[in-house]
Amino acid sequence: GAVVSQHPSWVICKSGTSVKIECRSLDFQATTMFWYRQFPKQSLMLMATSNEGSKATYEQGVEKDKFLINHASLTLSTLTVTSAHPEDSSFYICSAGTSGYEQYFGPGTRLTVT
**From CA 103, how far away is CA 91, in angstroms rounded?**
18
Residue whose CB is less far from other proteins, 3 or 72: 3
With the C-alpha atoms ordered 62, 68, 72, 73, is the resulting torsion angle positive or negative?
negative
Q: Nearest distance from residue 13's CB to other proteins, in Å?
A: 18
**To the nearest whole angstrom, how small is the minimum distance from the Cβ of residue 104 to other proteins?**
6
Smaller CB distance to other proteins: residue 62 or 82? 62
Nearer of residues 27 and 83 to other proteins, judged by Cβ? 27
d(CA 24, CA 27): 9
CB 16 to other proteins: min, Å: 26
d(CA 98, CA 110): 25
Q: Which residues here bind other proteins, judged by CB under 8 A?
A: 32, 34, 38, 43-44, 46, 49, 91, 93, 95, 97, 101-108, 110
Q: Assess whether the previous peptide bond of 8 is cis (omega < 30° from 0).
A: yes
